[in-house]
C-alpha cells in the first residue's frame, strides 16, 4: 500500500470523521467558550479567612449594632448582632455600609479650593497648617456644626471651640434635640428613654419607630420577638398601634393604623389625655390642674376635626392602652426631625397619666452623660443650641462667623429650604468640611478633609435617643481606610496642640478610654470587642416637674399655612442619609413606582387626586413658600386625605451618579418657624399646592 | 479460463477496495485514539494533593460526619475546607500506632501520612494547601446552607435512591456533587483544564440543572416557591 495523494485525502477524511466521534471538538468548543470569559480585567473573588467583628454603625442613624463579616482583611457583609441591646437586625443603610467603603462619592485626599474656584489636592501637612492658621485667625469667631450627636467627637469639637473662645457649636437637628428641649422645659434633668422591651402595648403617634425614630433596629427586634410568627410557635406578647399620615413601615405593622393629618401629634396626644383624664386618670405634675383644663377641651370630636383621626379608632386604642399592663405612648416626628418639643411633652403627659414613668415598659428617665474633657459642653448643653436659628442669623449677616467647621453633616441639603443656609455659607469667609463623601456642604467649603467611615475608625456611641437604658458602645475599626483619610478627632487634637490649647486628653482613644473606665466603669477592651456597657440607673421623677400646658396651648394655637394640601415627608433608610446620599447598591431597591428615570413619585390617595384634578402618572409641581418641586403623581390609598406624601433622600446635586439629580429634595419645600414658647425651630407642618406641570 | 480471469479480477477489485479504504480507517482510528486517550492527557494537567488523606477512615472508622469538619459558620455560610486548627484538634500528636513487623502496608502508609502531617504542618503551624476538586467559578454563588436545608426538606423522607440520608450524616446529599468516599480514597490527583483553569470535576451548568430544571422540582409549595428555583439570579448574583 502506497500513501499517494488519494490515500492521504482518504486518511484526512477518516481522521475528520473519527475525531467527530471523540469528545475533542465538543470539549474544545466548550472550553474555548469558557476561556473567552476569562479576561484579565474581570474581577476575581479574593479568598481569605472568614471572621466576624462586632461594631455599632456610625453611618445608620439608628445606631444599629451589627456584625461585619470579613474575608481576609476585607469587610464583605453586614450581619445582625442578636446579642447586643442595639442589635437584632440590619437596616438597609447599615447593610450598605461595607459597599459604601468603595463609593465613588468618597473624598480621596484633602482638597483646597484654589483661586479659580476649583478644588486642588493638597497634602495632610499642608491641610493641617491651613486649618491651624484659620483657627488661630478666627479665634472666638469660629463656629462648628457636628452631625454626630451620639459620638464623643461632639465633645472634642466643643472643647476645641471653648479653647478658642467660641460657644457656636451646634448639632444637626434631631428627635433627640426636641426631646432634650422638652425635658429641659418640663424640669426633668435627664434623657427621656423608652422601655420598649417590657411594654405590652405601644402606641406611636407620628414616630415612625421602624424606620426613622430612635433605635430602629432595636425597635424592630423587639417587635419581632413580641409578635406571633406564622409558624404559630410565638405567642403575642405586645401589640402596636400607629397614628401617622402615611402607611409607612410602622403603619403596615400596626394594628390599628390611624391615618391623621401630618404634624398633628400634639393635638392627638391631647385627645388621648382627654379620654384618660375623663376616665379619672391623674398625674402628680406641679401644673396638672392647668393641663387637665387644657386636655378636657380636646375632646375626641374636636381632635377628630383637627387631626382627621377617626374618634372611635382613637377610643379603641386608648381602651387598649388602659387594658395593657405596661402601656407606652411614643410621640415624635413622622420624618425624624423638626417636630419640636411640644409633641414630646404631650407624649410625656400621656405616659404620666398612664402611670408608667420609670416603670417597666414605660418612660425611663436616664441620666445625661457628662463631658469628660475639661471645658467641653455636655450633650444636653449642645442640644440647647438651635442650628436652624443660628444659620438664620448668619444669613442675616450680623453674627456670621469668620470660620465654619462642619463635621459629618450636610446642612445645605438637610435643612429646610426656608432656612437660608446657602446665603449663610456665602457670608462665612472660610469653611472647612470633615466628610467621607463629597456632599453638597463639602462642595461649598474651602477646605475638605476626608475622614474614615465608621468601619474604618475608632469611635463610640453614647445612649442614642429612644433607648430605654443608658448604654455606651465603642466601635473598633474593622478595615484599613481605602482612601488617604485621617480621623477628624485626631486631626482636631493635633490642631489644638498646635495652638497650645489644653484639651484634657492626649488623643481620641485616650478620651474614649477615660469615658469607659472613668465614667462608665467598664473595661475598655471589652467595649472594643463589641460588648455594649448597659446601665439600668434611672433618675428619680422630680417632684416639681411640669407638663407645660401653656407651651402646649401656644403650639396648638399656631395656625398652619393656608394652602390646598398638607405635605407629609417620610423617610426610607435605603435612600441613605443627607451625608451618604443613596448608597450605590441600594439603587436596586428603588421601585419603578418610586423613581422612574430622574422623576420621583409623590403620593396622594384617589379622593385627593380627584380633588386636585389630577390623574395617576401626571407630571406635577409642588409649591410652597415660593419654592417649587417637580414630581410625578402616584395614587396610593395609604396616604391621609388632603395630604401629599413625599419621600426624603432624593434630589442630591452633589455626591455621585447614584444620588445626583434623582428626583427632588422635599426639604426645599419646608417652611421653618420658631416653636411658640420653646423657641426651637420647627418644620413639621407645611402646606403645599399641587398643580399639573 | 474466462471464469478464472473473472475470479482474478474480482479478487483484485476486492483487494483494491480494501486497500483503497485503508487510509480512511487508519485516519479514523488514529483520530479516535487521539481524541479519546491522548487529548484528555494533553488538556488536563495533574496536580497531586499535598499528602494522602483518607476520608473513608474518618467516616467509617472514626464515625465522623461530613459536617464535623466541613461545617457551617455562625452566619449560615459554609466554611469549606477545615483549617489546620480543626485537624490539629485530634491530630496534635500522632494517633496511629507505630508500625511493627506485623503491620500491613496500609497501616504503614497511614502512619507515614499522619507523621508527615504532624511534623510538617501541625508543628510548623502551616495550613495545608489542599486542592479542591469542585471549586466553582466566581460567577456562581453556591449556597451549601440553602442546599442542605431545602434539599433535605423533601429528600429526607423520600425512598430509594432519592433518599439523601440523615442530616447528621448527609453523605448521600454531599456525594451528589462531590466525589464519593471510594473515589476520594484513590488519592487521585486533581486535574486542571489548561484552557479554563477549572478542575475536571467542576460542575457544569447542565449538572446543576439536573435538579434545578427537573420537572419534579417545579411543584409549588403553596407559598409561591418551587423546590429548586431555576431563575438565573438563583446562582448568578
Which residue among B26, B39, B79 sits closest to A24, beta carbon to beta carbon? B39
Residue B99, CA distances (Å) to B92, B103, B112 in order: 19, 5, 9
Nearest CA in chain B to A22: B35
Which residue among A19, A67, A69 sits closest to B31, beta carbon to beta carbon? A19
A135 sits in the region (left: phi over 0; alpha: psi -120 to 50; else beta) called alpha
Task: Examine the pLDDT at A335 and tell me if it is beyond 70.
Answer: yes
* A67 vs A80: CA distance, rounded Å: 6
C-alpha cell at A578: 443627607
pLDDT of residue A2: 64
Nearest CA in chain B to A30: B196
Burial (CB count <10 Å: 0-12, 13-18, 19+), residue B211? middle
Which of A23, A28, A33, A34 has the most B C-beta neighbours within 10 Å, making it the best mutation to test the interface with B? A34
Q: Among residues A175, A172, A173, A176, which one has the least CA distance to residue A157?
A: A172
Task: Examine the pLDDT at A670 and tell me if it is beyond 80.
Answer: yes
Q: Which helix (H) or strand (E) covers residue A406, if one does?
A: strand A403-407
B124 part of a folded domain: no
Q: Among residues A51, A76, A73, which one has the least CA distance to residue B83?
A: A51
Contact A18 B27 (CB under 8 A): yes
B194 part of a folded domain: yes
The 10 Å Cβ neighbour count of residue B189 is 13
Contact B31 A17 (CB under 8 A): yes
Task: Examine the pLDDT at B181 and tell me if it is beyond 90.
Answer: no
Instruction: Provide the shortest C-alpha distance from residue B127 to chain A (in Å).
Output: 11
Determine the average pLDDT of the residues in A72-94: 94
Task: Examine the pLDDT at B5 and tell me if it is beyond 60.
Answer: no
Contact A21 B35 (CB under 8 A): yes
pLDDT of residue B6: 56
Determine the average pLDDT of the residues in B67-90: 87
pLDDT of residue B170: 72
With beta carbons under 8 A apart, name residues in chain A contacting B28. Answer: 14-15, 17-18, 21
Which of A1, A8, A10 has the most B C-beta neighbours within 10 Å, making it the best mutation to test the interface with B? A10
Query: Band of the pLDDT at B19, cuts 50, 70, 90?
Result: low
pLDDT of residue A135: 97
C-alpha cell at A453: 467611615
With beta carbons under 8 A apart, name residues in chain A contacting B23. Answer: 3, 7-8, 10-11, 14
Which residue among A19, A34, A35 sits closest to B35, beta carbon to beta carbon? A19
The pairing of strands A599-604 and A627-635 is parallel
Q: Which helix (H) or strand (E) covers residue A307, if one does?
A: helix A300-307
Domain over A198-367 is classified CATH 3.40.228.10: yes
* B191 vs B173: CA distance, rounded Å: 24
With beta carbons under 8 A apart, name residues in chain B contacting A87. Answer: none
B54 part of a folded domain: no
Give me chain A's average pLDDT, please. Answer: 94
Domain that holds residue B17: 2-47
* B40 vs B193: CA distance, rounded Å: 9
* A380 vs A177: CA distance, rounded Å: 8
Determine the average pLDDT of the residues in B187-196: 90
With beta carbons under 8 A apart, name residues in chain B contacting A24. Answer: 34-35, 39
The angle formed by the CA atoms of residues A256, A260 and A263, to the nearest 5 degrees, is 130
Contact A22 B34 (CB under 8 A): yes
Q: Each residue of A382-440: pLDDT tens digit?
A: 999 999 999 999 999 778 999 999 999 999 999 999 899 999 999 999 999 999 999 99
- DSSP per residue, A43-103: -------EEEEEEE-SSSTT--EEEEEEETTEEEEEEE-TTSTT-SS--HHHHTHHHHTT-
Task: Examine the pLDDT at B7 and tell me if it is beyond 60.
Answer: no
Contact A31 B22 (CB under 8 A): no
Query: Band of the pLDDT at B224, cuts 50, 70, 90?
Result: low
pLDDT of residue A657: 94
Burial (CB count <10 Å: 0-12, 13-18, 19+), residue A521? exposed
pLDDT of residue B10: 62
Determine the average pLDDT of the residues in A677-682: 91
Q: Which helix (H) or strand (E) covers residue A191, if one does?
A: strand A190-194
Which residue among A1, A22, A32 sits closest to B19, beta carbon to beta carbon? A1
C-alpha cell at A413: 441639603
Which residue among B27, B29, B196 sits closest to A12, beta carbon to beta carbon? B27
Tally of domains in chain B: 2
C-alpha cell at A488: 477628624
Determine the average pLDDT of the residues in A224-234: 78
Q: Each residue of A105-158: pLDDT tens digit?
A: 999 999 999 999 999 999 999 999 999 999 999 999 999 999 999 999 999 999
B221 part of a folded domain: yes
A21 Cβ contact partners less than 8 Å away, ≥ 6 residues apart: B28, B32, B35
Q: Among residues A166, A171, A170, A169, which one has the least CA distance to residue A141?
A: A166
Burial (CB count <10 Å: 0-12, 13-18, 19+), residue A289? exposed
Q: Is A45 on the interface with B (CB under 8 A)?
A: yes
* B130 vs A138: CA distance, rounded Å: 64
Q: Which helix (H) or strand (E) covers residue A316, if one does?
A: helix A311-323
Determine the average pLDDT of the residues in A477-485: 92
A639 in Cβ contact with A645 (< 8 Å): yes
pLDDT of residue A1: 57
Which of A5, A6, A11 has the most B C-beta neighbours within 10 Å, making it the best mutation to test the interface with B? A11
Task: Examine the pLDDT at A182 and tell me if it is beyond 70.
Answer: yes
Q: Which helix (H) or strand (E) covers residue A407, if one does?
A: strand A403-407
Q: Which helix (H) or strand (E) covers residue B17, if one does?
A: helix B2-33
**Window from A135-139, A327-331, B129-133 with minimum mean pLDDT:** B129-133
Which of B15, B19, B20, B23 has the most A C-beta neighbours within 10 Å, making it the best mutation to test the interface with A? B23
A9 in Cβ contact with B20 (< 8 Å): no
Task: Examine the pLDDT at A230 and tell me if it is beyond 80.
Answer: no
Contact A14 B23 (CB under 8 A): yes
Task: Examine the pLDDT at B118 and tell me if it is beyond 80.
Answer: yes
Query: Band of the pLDDT at B155, cuts 50, 70, 90?
Result: confident
Which of residues B10, B29, B47 is at a domain's end?
Answer: B47
**Window from A25-29, A229-233, B173-177 with minimum mean pLDDT:** A229-233
Q: What residues of B are in the A interface, CB distance below 8 Å?
A: 19-32, 34-36, 39-40, 43, 73-75, 77, 79, 83, 138-139, 193, 195-198
With beta carbons under 8 A apart, name residues in chain B contacting A79. Answer: 75
* A357 vs A350: CA distance, rounded Å: 10
Q: Is A592 on the interface with B (CB under 8 A)?
A: no
Nearest CA in chain A to B76: A79
Burial (CB count <10 Å: 0-12, 13-18, 19+), residue A232? exposed
Handedness of CA A665, A666, A669, A673 (dihedral sign): negative
Task: Examine the pLDDT at B192 and tell me if it is beyond 70.
Answer: yes
B10 part of a folded domain: yes
Query: Band of the pLDDT at B135, cuts 50, 70, 90?
Result: confident
Interface pTM (ipTM) of the complex? Answer: 0.80
Q: Is A46 on the interface with B (CB under 8 A)?
A: no
Cα dihedral angle (A299, A303, A304, A308), rounded to 10 degrees? -170
Task: Examine the pLDDT at A234 and tell me if it is beyond 90.
Answer: no
With beta carbons under 8 A apart, name residues in chain B contacting A49. Answer: 83
Instruction: Provide the shortest C-alpha distance from residue B225 to chain A (in Å).
Output: 16
Query: What is the CATH number that goes with domain A560-692?
Result: 2.40.40.20
Which residue among A12, A23, A35 sits closest to B196, beta carbon to beta carbon? A35
Instruction: Provide the shortest C-alpha distance from residue A174 to chain B (in Å).
Output: 34
Which residue among B21, B23, B73 sits closest to A3, beta carbon to beta carbon? B23
Cα dihedral angle (B226, B228, B230, B232), rounded to 10 degrees? 110
| Burial state string for A594-630 with b = 16 or more CB within 10 A and e = fewer than 16 | bbeeeebbbbbbeebbeebebeeebebebbbbebebb
With beta carbons under 8 A apart, name residues in chain B contacting A1. Answer: 19, 22
Contact B28 A15 (CB under 8 A): yes
Task: Examine the pLDDT at A46 and tell me if it is beyond 90.
Answer: no
Nearest CA in chain B to A34: B196
* B173 vs B150: CA distance, rounded Å: 11
B136 part of a folded domain: yes
C-alpha cell at A534: 448597659
- Interface A-B, measured as beta-carbon pairs within 8 A, has a size of 94
Task: Examine the pLDDT at A41 and tell me if it is beyond 90.
Answer: no
- DSSP per residue, A529-566: TT--EEE---PPPPTT----HHHHHHHHHPPPP--SEE
Q: Each residue of A492-506: pLDDT tens digit?
A: 999 999 999 999 999
A162 Cβ contact partners less than 8 Å away, ≥ 6 residues apart: A375, A376, A377
Task: Examine the pLDDT at A87 and tell me if it is beyond 90.
Answer: yes
The pairing of strands A595-596 and A599-604 is antiparallel
pLDDT of residue A422: 95
The single residue listed with the C-alpha cell 471653648 is A162
- DSSP per residue, A327-378: EEEEE--TTSS---SHHHHHHHHHHHHTT-BTSTTSEEEEEPPPP-STTPPP
HEC per residue, A621-637: EEEECCEEEEEEEEECC
Burial (CB count <10 Å: 0-12, 13-18, 19+), residue B222? exposed
Determine the average pLDDT of the residues in A304-315: 94
Which residue among B22, B28, B193 sits closest to A31, beta carbon to beta carbon? B193
pLDDT of residue B39: 93
Nearest CA in chain A to B36: A22
Query: Band of the pLDDT at B162, cuts 50, 70, 90?
Result: confident
Q: Among residues A99, A218, A220, which one has the least CA distance to residue A473?
A: A218
With beta carbons under 8 A apart, name residues in chain A contacting B77. Answer: 50, 69
Task: Examine the pLDDT at A559 and tell me if it is beyond 70.
Answer: no
The 10 Å Cβ neighbour count of residue A379 is 25
Task: Examine the pLDDT at B113 and tell me if it is beyond 70.
Answer: yes
The angle formed by the CA atoms of residues A308, A314 and A315, to the nearest 5 degrees, is 140
Q: Is A231 on the interface with B (CB under 8 A)?
A: no
The 10 Å Cβ neighbour count of residue A48 is 12
Kindly state the greatest CA–CA separation across chain B.
Answer: 96
Which of B30, B31, B85 has the most A C-beta neighbours within 10 Å, making it the best mutation to test the interface with A? B31
Residue B101, CA distances (Å) to A121, A181, A531, A602, B80 in order: 77, 89, 59, 87, 39
Q: Among residues A114, A376, A327, A71, which one has the least CA distance to residue A202?
A: A327
Which residue among B28, B40, B138 sits closest to A14, beta carbon to beta carbon? B28
Q: Give domain limits for chain A.
A: 5-35, 198-367, 560-692
Instruction: Provide the shortest C-alpha distance from residue A47 to chain B (in Å).
Output: 10
B6 Cβ contact partners less than 8 Å away, ≥ 6 residues apart: none
Amino acid at each position: 500500500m502506497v500513501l499517494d495523494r488519494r490515500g492521504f485525502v482518504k486518511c484526512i477524511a477518516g481522521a475528520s470523521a473519527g475525531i467527530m466521534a471523540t469528545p475533542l471538538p465538543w470539549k474544545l468548543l466548550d472550553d474555548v467558550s469558557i476561556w473567552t470569559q476569562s479576561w484579565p480585567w474581570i474581577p476575581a473573588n479574593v479568598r481569605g479567612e472568614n471572621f466576624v467583628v462586632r461594631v455599632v454603625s456610625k453611618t445608620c442613624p439608628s445606631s444599629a449594632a451589627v456584625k461585619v463579616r470579613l474575608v481576609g482583611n476585607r469587610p464583605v457583609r453586614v450581619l445582625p448582632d442578636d446579642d447586643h441591646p442595639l442589635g437584632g437586625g440590619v437596616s438597609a443603610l447599615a447593610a450598605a455600609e461595607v459597599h459604601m467603603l468603595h463609593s465613588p462619592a468618597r473624598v480621596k485626599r484633602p482638597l483646597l479650593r484654589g483661586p479659580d474656584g476649583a478644588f486642588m489636592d493638597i497634602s495632610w501637612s499642608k491641610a493641617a497648617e491651613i486649618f491651624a492658621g484659620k483657627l488661630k485667625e478666627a479665634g472666638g469667631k469660629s463656629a462648628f456644626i457636628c452631625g454626630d450627636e451620639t459620638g464623643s467627637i461632639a465633645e472634642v469639637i466643643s472643647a476645641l471651640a471653648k479653647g478658642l473662645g467660641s460657644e457656636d457649636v451646634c448639632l444637626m437637628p434631631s428627635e433627640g434635640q426636641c426631646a432634650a428641649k422638652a425635658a429641659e422645659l418640663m424640669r426633668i434633668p435627664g434623657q427621656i428613654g423608652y422601655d420598649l422591651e417590657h411594654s405590652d402595648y405601644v402606641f406611636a403617634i407620628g414616630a415612625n419607630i421602624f424606620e426613622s425614630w430612635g433605635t430602629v433596629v432595636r425597635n424592630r427586634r423587639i417587635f419581632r420577638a413580641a409578635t406571633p410568627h406564622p409558624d404559630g410557635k410565638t405567642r403575642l406578647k405586645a401589640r402596636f398601634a400607629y397614628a401617622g399620615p402615611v402607611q409607612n413601615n410602622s403603619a403596615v405593622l400596626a394594628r390599628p393604623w390611624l391615618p391623621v393629618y401630618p404634624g398633628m401629634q400634639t393635638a392627638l396626644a391631647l385627645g388621648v389625655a382627654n379620654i384618660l383624664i375623663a376616665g379619672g386618670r391623674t398625674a402628680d405634675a406641679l401644673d396638672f390642674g392647668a393641663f387637665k383644663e387644657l386636655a378636657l377641651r380636646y375632646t375626641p370630636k374636636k381632635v377628630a376635626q383637627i387631626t382627621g383621626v377617626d374618634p372611635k379608632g382613637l377610643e379603641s386604642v386608648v381602651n387598649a392602652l388602659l387594658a395593657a399592663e405596661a402601656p407606652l405612648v411614643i410621640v415624635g416626628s413622622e420624618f425624624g426631625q423638626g417636630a419640636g418639643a411640644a409633641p414630646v411633652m404631650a407624649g410625656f403627659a400621656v405616659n404620666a397619666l398612664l402611670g408608667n414613668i420609670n416603670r417597666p415598659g414605660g418612660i425611663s428617665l436616664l441620666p445625661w452623660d457628662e463631658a469628660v474633657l475639661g471645658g467641653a459642653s455636655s450633650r444636653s448643653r449642645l442640644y440647647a443650641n438651635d442650628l436652624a436659628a443660628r444659620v438664620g442669623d448668619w444669613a442675616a449677616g450680623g453674627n456670621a462667623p469668620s470660620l465654619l467647621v462642619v463635621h459629618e453633616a450636610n446642612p445645605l441639603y438637610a435643612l429646610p429650604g426656608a432656612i437660608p443656609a446657602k446665603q449663610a455659607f456665602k457670608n462665612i469667609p472660610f469653611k472647612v468640611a470633615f466628610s467621607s463623601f463629597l456632599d453638597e456642604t463639602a462642595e461649598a467649603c474651602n477646605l475638605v478633609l476626608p475622614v474614615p467611615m465608621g468601619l474604618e475608625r475608632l469611635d463610640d456611641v453614647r445612649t442614642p435617643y429612644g433607648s430605654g437604658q443608658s448604654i455606651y458602645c465603642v466601635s473598633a475599626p474593622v478595615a484599613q481606610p481605602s482612601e488617604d483619610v485621617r480621623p477628624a478627632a485626631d486631626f482636631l487634637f493635633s490642631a489644638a496642640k498646635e495652638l497650645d490649647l489644653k484639651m484634657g486628653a492626649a488623643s481620641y482613644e485616650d478620651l474614649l478610654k477615660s469615658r469607659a473606665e472613668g465614667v462608665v466603669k467598664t473595661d475598655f477592651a471589652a467595649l472594643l470587642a463589641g460588648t455594649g456597657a448597659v446601665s439600668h440607673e434611672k433618675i428619680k421623677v422630680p417632684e416639681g416637674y411640669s407638663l407645660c400646658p401653656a407651651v402646649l396651648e401656644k403650639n396648638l394655637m399656631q395656625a398652619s399655612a393656608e394652602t390646598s394640601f398638607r405635605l407629609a415627608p417620610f423617610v426610607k433608610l435605603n435612600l441613605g442619609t443627607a451625608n451618604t446620599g443613596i448608597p450605590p447598591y441600594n439603587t436596586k431597591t428603588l421601585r419603578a413606582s418610586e423613581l422612574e428615570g430622574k422623576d420621583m413619585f409623590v403620593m396622594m390617595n384617589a379622593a385627593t387626586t380627584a380633588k386636585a384634578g389630577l390623574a395617576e402618572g401626571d407630571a406635577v409641581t409642588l409649591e410652597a413658600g415660593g419654592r417649587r418641586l417637580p414630581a410625578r403623581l402616584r395614587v396610593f390609598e395609604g396616604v391621609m386625605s388632603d395630604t401629599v406624601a413625599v419621600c426624603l433622600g432624593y434630589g442630591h446635586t452633589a455626591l455621585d451618579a447614584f444620588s445626583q439629580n434623582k428626583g427632588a429634595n422635599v426639604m426645599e419645600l419646608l417652611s421653618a418657624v420658631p416653636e411658640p414658647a420653646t423657641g426651637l425651630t420647627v418644620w413639621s407642618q407645611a402646606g403645599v399646592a399641587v398643580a399639573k406641570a | 479460463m474466462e471464469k478464472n480471469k473473472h475470479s482474478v479480477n474480482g479478487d483484485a477489485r476486492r483487494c483494491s477496495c480494501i486497500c483503497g479504504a485503508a487510509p480512511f480507517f487508519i485516519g479514523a482510528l488514529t483520530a479516535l485514539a487521539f481524541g479519546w486517550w491522548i487529548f484528555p492527557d494533553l488538556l488536563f494537567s495533574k496536580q497531586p494533593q499535598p499528602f494522602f488523606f483518607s476520608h473513608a477512615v474518618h467516616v467509617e472508622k472514626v464515625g465522623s460526619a461530613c459536617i464535623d469538619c466541613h461545617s457551617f459558620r455562625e452566619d449560615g455560610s459554609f466554611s469549606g475546607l477545615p483549617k489546620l486548627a480543626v485537624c490539629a484538634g485530634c491530630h496534635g500528636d500522632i494517633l496511629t500506632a507505630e508500625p511493627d513487623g506485623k503491620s500491613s502496608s496500609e497501616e504503614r502508609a497511614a502512619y507515614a501520612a499522619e507523621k508527615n502531617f504532624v511534623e510538617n504542618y501541625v508543628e510548623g503551624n502551616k495550613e495545608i494547601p489542599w486542592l479542591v476538586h469542585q471549586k466553582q467559578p466566581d460567577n456562581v454563588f453556591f449556597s451549601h446552607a440553602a442546599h442542605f436545608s431545602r434539599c433535605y426538606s423533601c429528600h429526607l423522607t423520600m425512598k430509594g435512591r432519592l433518599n439523601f440520608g440523615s442530616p447528621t450524616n448527609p453523605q448521600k446529599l454531599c456525594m451528589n456533587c462531590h466525589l464519593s468516599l471510594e473515589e476520594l480514597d484513590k488519592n487521585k490527583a486533581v486535574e486542571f483544564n489548561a484552557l479554563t483553569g477549572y478542575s475536571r470535576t467542576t460542575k457544569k451548568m447542565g449538572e446543576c440543572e439536573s435538579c434545578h430544571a427537573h420537572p419534579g422540582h417545579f411543584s409549588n409549595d403553596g407559598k409561591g416557591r418551587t423546590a429548586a428555583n431555576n431563575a438565573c439570579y438563583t446562582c448568578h448574583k
